[in-house]
């Protein structure tokens, strides 16, 4: 099995490089294609998918990962599903339970940093000073419901703990956290959708 990942930025690539070996079945290979932001990914996606459709081997799959960025989640997912259908590639959503699919579309609500709030234990281990009980506070109980910008909120949490006074380095953060994250205990629903999708692959 081989999986081609499409992501919108380098921090998502850094996260997947550190995290995927923990959850993919042994013998599964992957390659990550990084775009120059979400608009670039969405603009180029139709042509990329059409190109893959003409030669994609039977044991290859495609996973598209984008941030919600305060966009309507259902509209964004419908757009991704439509582009796959136009390219003639079956998605997990369209396939249902019993049919083999080629594409997994997944959305981080609202940004990939929400997944870090889903595993406060990993966050506190990577950054001693972050309260390991942070997730018990009302604002952080539901990671996918954090308002006001997920990465901005995470930046404030880390700065209060004594880190990154000059600003949040998203790629470094991803590299430090990904190997520490536990797919089972993560409280983010959008993260669990990613995990279940990868398992279905």
One domain for residues 66 and 134:
no
Q: How many CB atoms lie within 10 A of CB 130?
A: 21
Tokens describing residue 162: 């004594």
Q: What is the mean pLDDT of the chain?
A: 94
pLDDT in tens, 149-185: 899 999 999 999 999 999 999 999 999 999 999 999 9
Contact 94, 167 (CB under 8 A): no
Asked if pLDDT for residue 32 goes beyond 80, the answer is: yes
What is the rounded CA–CA span in Å between residue 9 and residue 87? 23
Using pLDDT thresholds of 50, 70 and 90, give the confidence band for residue 132: very high
For 7, phi then psi, to 5°, come to -130, 160
One domain for residues 102 and 129:
no
One domain for residues 13 and 70:
yes
What is the separation of C-alpha 23 from the centre of its chain, rounded to a whole number of angstroms?
Answer: 13
Domain that holds residue 27: 2-110+188-200
- pTM of the predicted protein model: 0.93
Tokens describing residue 14: 């850094």
What is the rounded CA–CA span in Å between residue 75 and residue 81? 10
Tokens describing residue 107: 């959305």
Which residue, among 175, 155, 177, has the nearest Cα to 164 in the 3D structure?
A: 155
Asked if pLDDT for residue 73 goes beyond 90, the answer is: no
One domain for residues 141 and 118:
yes
One domain for residues 127 and 83:
no
One domain for residues 55 and 133:
no
For residue 28, give the CATH number of its domain: 3.40.50
Residue 144's alpha-carbon distances to 19, 31, 53, 140, in angstroms, are 20, 27, 33, 9
What's the structural domain count of the chain? 2
Contact 151, 113 (CB under 8 A): yes
SS3 155: helix
Torsion of CA 63, 68, 72, 74, to 10 degrees: 20
One domain for residues 118 and 96:
no
Torsion of CA 48, 69, 15, 11, to 10 degrees: 80
One domain for residues 31 and 77:
yes
Q: State the SS3 of 36-50.
A: CCHHHHHHHHHHHHH
Angle subtended by helix axes 73-86 and 38-53, to nearest 10: 30
Higher-pLDDT residue of 162, 68: 162
One domain for residues 96 and 145:
no
One domain for residues 86 and 161:
no
């Amino acid at each position: 099995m081989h999986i081609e990942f499409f992501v919108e930025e380098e921090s998502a690539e850094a996260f997947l490089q550190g995290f995927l070996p923990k959850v993919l079945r042994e013998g599964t290979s992957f390659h990550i294609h990084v775009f120059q932001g979400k608009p670039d990914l969405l603009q180029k996606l139709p042509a990329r998918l059409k190109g893959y459709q003409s030669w994609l081997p039977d044991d290859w799959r495609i996973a598209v990962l984008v941030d919600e960025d305060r966009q309507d989640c259902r509209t964004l997912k419908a757009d991704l599903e439509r582009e796959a259908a136009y390219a003639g590639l079956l998605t997990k959503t369209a396939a249902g339970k019993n049919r083999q699919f080629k594409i997994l579309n997944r959305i981080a609500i609202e940004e990939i940093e929400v997944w870090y709030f889903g595993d406060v234990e990993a966050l506190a281990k990577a950054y001693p000073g972050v309260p390991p009980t942070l997730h018990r506070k009302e604002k952080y109980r539901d990671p996918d419901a954090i308002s006001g910008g997920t990465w901005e909120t995470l930046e404030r949490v880390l700065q209060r703990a004594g880190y990154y006074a000059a600003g949040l380095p998203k790629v470094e953060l991803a590299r430090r956290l990904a190997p520490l994250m536990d797919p089972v205990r993560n409280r983010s629903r959008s993260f669990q959708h990613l995990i279940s999708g990868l398992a279905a692959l």
